[in-house]
Structure formats: C-alpha cells, structure tokens
C-alpha cells in the first residue's frame, strides 16, 4: 500500500544512504524530502532514478516560518490526495557550529533551532495527519552521554540549563569558542532524547517515536561549519576510524537508520536505538521534569508558526 515518509537531512551523509535504502526496500513509499530550495529539486530527481516516487518541499530548517510553510504544504498535499497516507517522519538534519553565538532569523541559537525546534514543529504540525501504524525517527547522538567512551574526547558533554537559556545565544562559557559550539551540539542532542520521551507519552495511539544514534560517523556534512583543519580531519583522516569499533561508516549508519524507520529494528515507542539495537540512553536523559519543561518551552517557541500565523 502506498504511503508517504517525510525526511529532513537526506541530501548527504547517512541521510542520503538511508533514503536510498528506504526507496529500494519499500517500493510503495513516496519519499518527500525537505531541503533548501536550491537543492531540493535536484535531490528529488537524483533519488527518483529508477522509477522511485520522490518529491520535495523547500524549507530552511533555521527558520520556523519556513518550516511552518513546508508543513502546511505537506498537510495540504495529504488532504488533497496528492500524497498517499503519511506513515513516517525522519528528522535527520543536524548542525554543529564553531561557536554558540550563531542566531536564526527568529532569534534562537542556531544549533538548538535546527536540532530541536525544527523537529518539534514538524512533529506537532503533522501529528494529526499520520495514518497508523506510523513511526517518527529523530536522529540523536551518543555525545549526549558526555564521557570519553562515547565521544572520544572530541565533543564536550552536555551542560543542561533552562530551555529559555539554551534557546538563546551565549548559553555557555566563552560562547565564541569551538568548545561552546560543540557543547551546544551535545546539549541539543540530549534535548532531542528528552523530547522523544515526551512525544511517546503524548502522540496518538499507533504513532511511534524513536531516537536513533548512528554513533560517530566521520566524513559526513556535520563538520561543514567547522574550521578548515577540523573539516580536513573529519573528511580525510578520521574516516579511517570507521574501520575500527570506535566509529561507524556512513553505509552502516544509513542502513541502520533505514532499519529503524521501516520497523526492521525492534524498538518500542520512546526507545533509543544505538546503531542496530535498542538500548538505554544516558542516565541523565531520563528526567521527566526536564522533559516536561522542554516540551512546554518548545510549544511556546513555536506557537506562532504552529498556529499557522
């Protein structure tokens, strides 16, 4: 039976690999990719090679207004029958900056905006259009553990604060530094796990939500905002680690992401999937009070766009 899966972050890295797996392994899927206007049409055309059903909706994930417009277009296409029933959403897009001072047009710190608020707004605007059984997958990161075993000393652990602080620039000491930018990243991924737990409590029956951790995947586009030395290391040197247990190749990470989306990986709603299996996330990530506070804050931050204004 034909169905729609909406996906962000399909243009490169593990997302591109996962998109190809989804199309090959689920011939009835209509993959709707969300991407910037300049690249969305090209991405859809490239993925559609071989007769696959792929279309795109333009959006800048750093703009809540753009996300609201994209979600409204998706809703309209579903309602008109232009798209088959919605069975999945994959929030795979993510960013990491070299500081904690980059700000979106809406006045939010960019890491928090893209890695947390963008997914939240999509989930909230599409949640009443899902046709059960459906699955939402949010790409997380094991950097939220904050220890050497999970981040190899390359990314500082999360530093949780009030969501009202985290959502604005300058939330961390020396916010102009790379350390602050990477702390913003790991903290945003902790926030993503919190929201997955809260979604599992609130989403309609038959709509599952899962956090997916690909592990450390060198050679992806995550370092595109880094300094030249870091970009060189991520693209030319660190990929060698994918041959060891310390890292994951793009091909494996993308395949495992597709497994989670398609339900091939057994994971009940609210789960944290570590590469190919469900596992526990960090001890800090289980905190119902923080989860509820973050939910309430995300609702406030996205209220105008969620209302369709």
- Please state, in angstroms and rounded to a whole number, the distance separating the CA atoms of residues 305 and 63: 10
| Least confident segment among 140-149, 170-179, 267-276, 285-294 | 140-149
Mean pLDDT for 64-79 is 97
Q: Which residue has the tokens 């029956």?
A: 205
CA 178 centroid distance within chain: 21
* pLDDT value of position 228: 56
Mean pLDDT for 73-99 is 97
pLDDT of 191 over the 60 cut: yes
Reading across the β-sheet that carries 53-58, which strands appear in turn? 53-58, 29-35, 3-8, 86-91, 130-139, 207-213, 272-274, 277-279
pLDDT of 241 over the 50 cut: no
Contact status, residue 176 vs residue 91, Cβ threshold 8 Å: no
Three-state secondary structure call for residue 185: helix
Q: Which residue has the tokens 């800048």?
A: 60
* pLDDT value of position 229: 44
pTM confidence score: 0.90
* pLDDT value of position 1: 87
| Least confident segment among 101-110, 169-178, 223-232, 299-308 | 223-232
pLDDT of 220 over the 70 cut: no
- Please state, in angstroms and rounded to a whole number, the distance separating the CA atoms of residues 273 and 247: 16
pLDDT: which is higher, 268 or 149: 268
Closest CA to 158 of 188, 129, 132: 188
pLDDT of 242 over the 50 cut: no
137-170 pLDDT per residue, tens: 999 999 999 988 787 778 999 999 999 999 999 9
As a whole number, the mean pLDDT across the chain is: 91
Closest CA to 1 of 31, 29, 21: 29
pLDDT of 245 over the 70 cut: no
Segment 40-49 long-range contacts (CB within 8 Å, at least 24 positions apart): 43/10, 43/11, 47/10, 47/19, 47/20, 47/23
pLDDT band per the 50, 70, 90 thresholds, residue 243: very low
Specify which of 36-45, 181-190, 218-227 reaches the highest per-range mean pLDDT. Answer: 181-190
* pLDDT value of position 248: 85
202-216 pLDDT per residue, tens: 999 999 999 999 998
- Please state, in angstroms and rounded to a whole number, the distance separating the CA atoms of residues 130 and 137: 13
Phi-psi region of 215 (alpha: psi -120 to 50; beta: other; left: phi over 0): left
- Please state, in angstroms and rounded to a whole number, the distance separating the CA atoms of residues 306 and 232: 40
pLDDT band per the 50, 70, 90 thresholds, residue 236: very low
């Amino acid at each position: 039976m034909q169905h729609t899966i909406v996906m962000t972050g399909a243009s490169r890295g593990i997302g591109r690999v996962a998109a190809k797996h989804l199309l090959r392994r689920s011939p009835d899927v209509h993959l709707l990719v969300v991407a910037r206007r300049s690249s969305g049409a090209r991405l859809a055309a490239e993925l559609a090679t071989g007769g696959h059903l792929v279309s795109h909706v333009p959006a800048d994930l750093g703009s809540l207004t753009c996300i609201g417009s994209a979600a409204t277009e998706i809703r309209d296409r579903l309602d008109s029958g232009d798209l088959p029933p919605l069975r999945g959403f994959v929030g795979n897009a993510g960013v990491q900056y070299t500081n904690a001072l980059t700000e979106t047009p809406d006045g939010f710190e960019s890491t928090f905006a893209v890695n947390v608020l963008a997914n939240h707004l999509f989930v909230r605007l599409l949640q009443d259009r899902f046709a059960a059984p459906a699955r939402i997958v949010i790409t997380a990161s094991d950097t939220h553990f904050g220890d050497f075993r999970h981040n190899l000393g390359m990314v500082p652990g999360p530093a949780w604060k009030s969501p009202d602080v985290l959502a604005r620039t300058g939330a961390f000491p020396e916010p102009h530094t790379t350390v602050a930018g990477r702390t913003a990243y790991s903290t945003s991924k902790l926030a993503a796990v919190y929201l997955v737990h809260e979604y599992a409590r609130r989403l309609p029956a038959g709509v599952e939500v899962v956090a997916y951790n690909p592990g450390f995947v060198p050679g992806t586009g995550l370092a595109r905002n880094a300094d030249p030395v870091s970009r060189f290391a991520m693209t030319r040197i660190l990929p060698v680690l994918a041959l060891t247990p310390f890292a994951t190749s793009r091909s494996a990470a993308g395949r495992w992401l597709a497994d989670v989306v398609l339900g091939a990986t057994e994971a009940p709603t609210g789960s944290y999937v570590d590469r190919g299996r469900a596992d526990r996330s960090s001890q800090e990530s289980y905190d119902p009070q923080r989860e509820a506070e973050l939910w309430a804050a995300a609702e406030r931050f996205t209220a105008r766009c969620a209302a369709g204004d």
